[in-house]
């Protein structure tokens, strides 16, 4: 089966996010002061082959933990859809 | 009202994504050949103040279109939740 995994990798809430803060300041200086907080992370979409949903989930979990995120300072979440999806 | 906007910004499907392709090749060389396609984009979380959900949606749409994405080569999607959420 083919699965589409949609992953987001964000800095943990306790870790300072200078990129997000830079975006917030830029927005504020452009007149968007109502934006109070910004966090920036990565969004990944993976198309992968797996026997079933459970195997796909286990694979994505392993990829995220070992390679796509830094578990010391980042956290990740993902969702799985069957088929390749719209992309 | 305070809203949490969760935004993803991705290169359009027709635009080459060298970063995603680099990740795919790395995964393949590490033994994860079952990952067939990778696209990498940005994930943003904004906490913002707006009168109601409609105003919040219009604001986020404007921010995405004008500042947070490049509409020539990127597309964005977002969801809105009331309150600041877990972060």
- Please enumerate residues of A whose Cβ is less than 8 A from a Cβ of B: 2, 8-10, 13, 20, 23, 26-27, 30, 32, 34-50, 59, 63, 67-68, 84, 86-87
What's the rounded mean pLDDT across residues A15-26? 96
What's the whole-number mean pLDDT along residues A72-82? 96
Per-residue 3-state assignment (H helix, E strand, C coil) for chain A: CEEEEEEEEEECCCCCCHHHHHHHHHHHHCCCCCEEEEEEEEEEEEEEECCCHHHHHHHHHHHHHHHHCCCCCEEEEEEEEECCCCC
What is the number of structural domains in chain A? 1
Mean of pLDDT over chain B? 94
Residue B6 has pLDDT above 70, yes or no: yes
pLDDT of res. A42: 97
pLDDT band at B87 (very low <50, low <70, confident <90, very high): very low
CATH number at residue B15: 3.30.1280.10
Confidence at residue A43, expressed as pLDDT on a 0 to 100 scale: 97
Do A63 and B35 lie within an 8 Å CB cutoff? yes
Give the domain range for residue A49. Answer: 2-82
- Is it the case that residue A81 has pLDDT exceeding 50? yes
Residue A6 lies in a domain: yes
The per-residue pLDDT for B83 is 79
Residue A56 within any structural domain of the chain: yes
Quick check: A86 pLDDT over 90? no
Report if residue B68 sits inside a domain: yes
Position B12 in a domain: yes
Q: What percent of chain B has pLDDT over 90?
A: 93
B18-49: pLDDT as tens digits: 999 999 999 999 999 999 999 999 999 999 99
With beta carbons under 8 A apart, name residues in chain B contacting A30: 67
ipTM over 0.90: no
Residue of B nearest to A38 (CA): B46
Residue range A27-47, pLDDT digits in tens: 999 999 999 999 999 999 999
For residue B87, being part of any structural domain is answered with no
User: Of all residues in chain A, what percent carry a pLDDT higher than 70?
Assistant: 95
Answer whether residue A87 is part of any domain. no
Token pair 């970063």 in the structure block, residue:
B19
């Amino acid at each position: 089966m083919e699965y589409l995994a949609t992953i987001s990798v964000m800095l943990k809430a306790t870790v300072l996010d200078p990129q997000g803060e830079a975006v917030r300041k830029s927005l504020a200086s452009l007149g968007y002061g109502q934006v109070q907080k910004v966090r920036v992370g990565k969004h990944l979409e993976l198309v992968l082959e797996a026997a079933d949903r459970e195997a796909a989930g286990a694979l994505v979990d392993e990829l995220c933990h070992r390679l796509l995120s830094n578990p010391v300072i980042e956290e990740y979440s993902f969702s799985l859809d069957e088929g390749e999806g719209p992309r």
